Structure formats: C-alpha cells, structure tokens
Structure 1
C-alpha cells in the first residue's frame, strides 16, 4: 500500500497467529532491516530510515509482534519466536541479505538472527544493546521484574505525555518525539495506552532476562557493529560501568567486530538519527559489512 514520502506500508504474515506492520523505502543500495526495542515501534527509526534512504539504501522497518500496528497474539514473545518472525519476514519480502539493525532488546534479537541465520544477513548492527544480560545484574527474576516492570499510563492524557517527552528529551528532533508518541494508542477520550500489553511486556522482559548472548559471540559468523551510548556518568554511573564492561567483553569475543561510542542516551536512533545513519552507511561503504 502506498504511503507518504516514498514510504510503502505493508502487512506481512510471518506466522499463523501474526502479521507484522512494515514500512519500506526503496533504494538500489545495500538494504537495511531496522528493529525497535521493547515497548517501542518502528517510528522511532524514522530519522535513521530517512537518512539511509537519502544515501540510496533500501530500508525496511518493522513493528515486532505485539507492538505498534502489528498483530498482538496471545503467544510468541520469547526471543526465539521473535527471531523466527524476522527470518520469515526477510524471506517473504525477498530482501537480499540486509544489514539487520536493532536497538536495545531489538539488538539482542538481531544478534540472535545473525548467529542463527548468517546466510540471511550481511551483518548485524547493535545500537545500545545486543550485549544485554540482565541476569548479571539481577540473579533472580522477581527483582528484575520489580525494577523494570512496565510503567502505568492509565488515564494519562496525550497532551501530558507529549509535554513530558519534550521536557525529558529537549534535544530530540521532531521525528524522535513523534516516534515516541507512536508507542501509544490514542483513545477517543484523549487518553493513551501502550500498544504493547502489560502481560506481553512482562513475557518479553522475562525472555530478555533469560537471554545470554555472550554464549553466542564466538559463533557469530557475520560482522557485528556495536554502537553504544556513553550516557551521563554522573547520573548513570552504575549502568554505564556495566555497559562498558559488557561491550568490551562482546568486542573481545565476537570474531568480526567494530565498536563505536556516541554521546547520547539509550535511544540514540531517536536522538541522533543522522549520525546513526552515517555510521551504518559508512560500515557498508568501507567494506566492513561485506557484499
């Protein structure tokens, strides 16, 4: 179905119980598959997708199951099934070995994809994720759930939510704010609710807590670009130290790897889309992601 500004909107059935909402931008250059994080949506990639398209690349962005405009089945929120969805998506769309790019939880998913199906992708890019191993910080599931449970937005007005997002992210471009707002369904009474149901959020979080990507590192055959946010050392010191240690461990164990650090927060793709698009394009142009 045609969209605006050269964006093609499609629904692709990837399983009996799930069809995924996809946005495509045409291009003759090497393709990219953009995968969002937990409780997010494909619109957070708008700025990056536009930047890649301007550089001539074909770009596919997807709402994962349970998120955004995709179907929300009762099952299938573990990393294995979500990765299955991406395998089927790439095959159904006929995309020729895209670079799979994921952010946060989505980065863990694309790393799993690169490990399991190296013939489907020419490389993997992990934006502030891919190395996430929650059991290092939370040995037991219950403390993890208490610390990272989805926030309640019941009764929040869309206007209040937008004001909060703008106050929290004053340096984000408009595309980033619009993408963050698109994580929520606007209801007729002016309030919002997340597209991702709370129970599915918890199922994904549990699967992420169980995931141990470090086991995969030595067996990942495709090139991996790790892009990590430096964060704020004054307000994020513990998490920043954990992040740096995990990135260094991943870089030491992955067979073909490149590491880049960027000033910014966890949502680098929303905060600095042009810089992220440039890093991704350069990794293709200089041959890191092999043809």
Structure 2
C-alpha cells in the first residue's frame, strides 16, 4: 500500500492523499467504488519516472480516508475532488478515473469544463448516455441486487466480477473487505446518481476511453464503443483484462495513458 502522508479535512472526513510533486503535467487518479489508491500503484510508479506529476487519493469512507461521518454522495464526491485540486493548486490537471472514479471525473469535467485539461476513463459507465428500457431496469435493480448478497460473500464476488488476474482479484478482495456492506451500498447508490442522460453532451476536453476486453460489469462493454463513436475518439480495448484493466494489465494501460498524454497539446506536455 502506498503511504498517503497528506491529509485534507473536509466535511466530517480526513481525506488522505499522496502527491509526487514536480513541474510535470499533473494527473489526479480517482479509484472505483469499494477500492482505494492502491489500484493505481503501477501508474504511480510508471508516470512520474516519465516526468508527470501524479496525485492519488482515497475517497471519503474508502481506504485511509476516515472517518466519513458525513456519508458518501455523488455531490459530496464532486465537492471533495474539486477541493483537493484547489488545495494542491493544480493547474488544469488530467483527471483519470476507474469505474466510480471515472463517473466522478466525468461529472467534474461536465460541471467545471475549465478545471481539467483532459479526461481518461477506465472501465466506467458513460454518465450522459441515452439508456434503453433494459438499461434503465438494470440501473434500477443494481443496488437491490447487491443488497441481497451476504456481507461475508460480497468482497469475493465483487473481486471475481472486477478482475481477471489473481493478483488484481486479491487486491480487490482486500479493498472491498475494508468497506462495511452498508457503506458500500451507499457508495453504489451514489454511483448511480452520476448517470444523468444527456445525449447531446460532448466532453469539452481531450478524452481517452480504456476498457478491458473481458469487462462484463454493467453495460460498459456495449456503451463504451457507442461513447467513443459519439465523441469521435478511438476506444482502447486492453486484451485479456477485466473491469480493473489498470491492475489486470498495468503495463498495457500505462502505455495507453502515456500515448494519449503525448497527444494532448504540446504546451501542456510533461518534459522527458
């Protein structure tokens, strides 16, 4: 586990984060529901060595960011991430989010289009996608379905659904085991809050979409290709990876991220 030496106290929670510092282009990594900053260990090692500044954090109630007396909501998550960016005085960082972190990062870019310079989404639903009746039903039933799973089985089942490699599954089990079932369901409900169909919306900054070849969570496998087509970008599909592609195939994802960053306007690129 990467040490998170810094603390930002916000609304009943001590948010923990780590910042590699430096003058390179800043990237802020936001993890998935039930996970924590550890899921980005490989990215935190790879990117600073190439001149980028990397910030990782634990969302409230996750990992080391406790207590979380105010509870987790979509609105509070947006407020927390914006406050962290402002606290660190980051100049238009690249937002990188996996699953819930991708939904959160989309929401930030949609609400505050001048706050970030680019968006990288790994295995997350398309927030503003038009939803079919079947997709509406799946969204509606997601939380009740999870609520029926016994608490003792939830970390294992979520890990198996999220990752392909045993290394990634083991870390997912560790992370999911830290969050009580009641709090996890609260986080899941907040994730659903980010899904607000707006078919005409287009991301106002450069966008990178990354999906594991074997990601079977939600409608990501079918919706992300449509999202890429709507935005006029090329979807990056990671061979052999599941929902947590950055842990199943870290080197391939690292290279995809770096390749995208090099296409961001040259005046904002990090030095080598």
- The one of 195, 213, 220 aligned to 2:178: 195
Q: Tell me the residue number matched to 1:191.
A: none
**1:276 matched to 2:237:** no
Q: What TM-score does the superposition give when structure 2 sets the normalisation length? A: 0.81
Q: Structure 2: which 5+ residue stretches go unaligned?
A: none
Q: Deviations over 1:23-57 (max 9, x none)?
A: 22234321110110000000111011111112111
- The one of 185, 204, 208 aligned to 1:221: 204
Q: Deviations over 1:64-106 (max 9, x none)?
A: 0010000232334221210110000000012222111111111
Report 1:202-281 matches (<5 A).
Answer: 202-215=185-198, 218-231=201-214, 236=216, 242-254=219-231, 257-263=233-239, 264-281=241-258
Q: Tell me the residue number matched to 2:6.
A: 10
CA distance change for structure 1 residues 213 and 107 in 2, over 3 Å: closer, same or farther? Answer: farther
Matches of 2:182 and 2:40 in 1, distance apart?
25
- The one of 74, 78, 88 aligned to 2:73: 78
Residue 136 of structure 1 and its aligned partner are, at CA, apart by 4.8
Q: Deviations over 1:143-190 (max 9, x none)?
A: 322433465238x9xxxx8xxx79x967455xx467436516xxxxxx
**1:180 matched to 2:172:** yes
SS at match of 1:220: coil
CA distance change for structure 1 residues 121 and 136 in 2, over 3 Å: closer, same or farther? Answer: farther
Give aligned pairs, total: 260
Report 1:136-151 matches (<5 A).
Answer: 136-137=134-135, 139=137, 143-149=141-147
Aligned residues of 1:35 and 1:102 also touching (Cα < 8 A): yes
Q: Structure 1: which 5+ residue stretches go unaligned?
A: 185-193
**1:36 matched to 2:36:** no
Aligned residues of 2:6 and 2:17 also touching (Cα < 8 A): yes
Residue 257 of structure 1 and its aligned partner are, at CA, apart by 3.9
Residue 228 of structure 1 and its aligned partner are, at CA, apart by 1.1
CA distance change for structure 1 residues 206 and 87 in 2, over 3 Å: closer, same or farther? Answer: same
SS at match of 1:100: strand
Residue 251 of structure 1 and its aligned partner are, at CA, apart by 2.2
Q: Tell me the residue number matched to 1:69.
A: 64
Matches of 1:179 and 1:55 in 2, distance apart?
26
More strand by share: 1
Matches of 1:136 and 1:288 in 2, distance apart?
40
Q: What TM-score does the superposition give when structure 1 sets the normalisation length? A: 0.76
Matches of 1:219 and 1:107 in 2, distance apart?
15
